[in-house]
Chains A and B, each alone.
Chain A
């Protein structure tokens, strides 16, 4: 079975400051890793994904994440946040042998960017 732990439920940060949203996962099989963003009253939108290869993954809106297999982590980072980055962020894992059928989501981290 898989599990996803997002270590921070809320992260307040000032505009233009860097931010890191933490995600740890547990799985006995190899997984794909994802970060999704959800703006208020909207569905989820893919920020970035790790399938294989380089452990540093770049996504949309200036976000990046690094896959660390030994620490089973996939932390999301942005060097300088904007007000518009205020949203809910979900880390997710999907076993590579299930094609997305068993995607597990973390509880979410609310990023609040202050002026």
Chain B
């Protein structure tokens, strides 16, 4: 199966600093990756869709200057939480879709838990 790796799994940072989370597709090329935020005991909230070589598409209500997404290659997308504040603390998950065969299945990273002090 297709493998997606996310790093780091856990990160603690001070308020006001920036944090970068990486999402890599290890054995396939992912032209599109998705970033989600998950609050405790809740479902996934899609934050943005990341397309290789172009600007990300953000969902309504998600601050694009706050959550910077870069998809520089077919195997790597990064999410940078800029000037993090305690309310940004959350579990962030990425997923990727494979170009072919395209069945709508998503392949998920392990998730990254961000704690902002």
Interface on B for A, CB 8 Å cutoff? 4, 6, 9, 32, 41-44, 49, 91, 93-95, 97, 102-111, 113
Contact = CB atoms under 8 A, between A and B. Distances in A.
A107 B107 CA distance: 19
A45 to B, nearest CB: 7
Given A43-B6, A43-B110, A101-B32, A94 B104 contact: yes
Given A43-B6, A43-B93, A43-B108, A105 B43 contact: yes
Contacts of A110: 41
Which size class do A's interface residues fall under? 20 to 34
Contact of A49 (B6, B105, B113): B105
Nearest to B98: A100
Contact of A32 (B42, B95, B104, B110): B104
A contact patch SS = loop
B contact patch SS = strand
A3 interface: no
Most buried by B among A44, A94, A108, A110: A44
B105 A34 contact: yes
5 contacts: A46-B107, A90-B44, A96-B104, A99-B102, A107-B42
A100 B104 CA distance: 4
A105 B46 CA distance: 10
Contacts of A96: 104
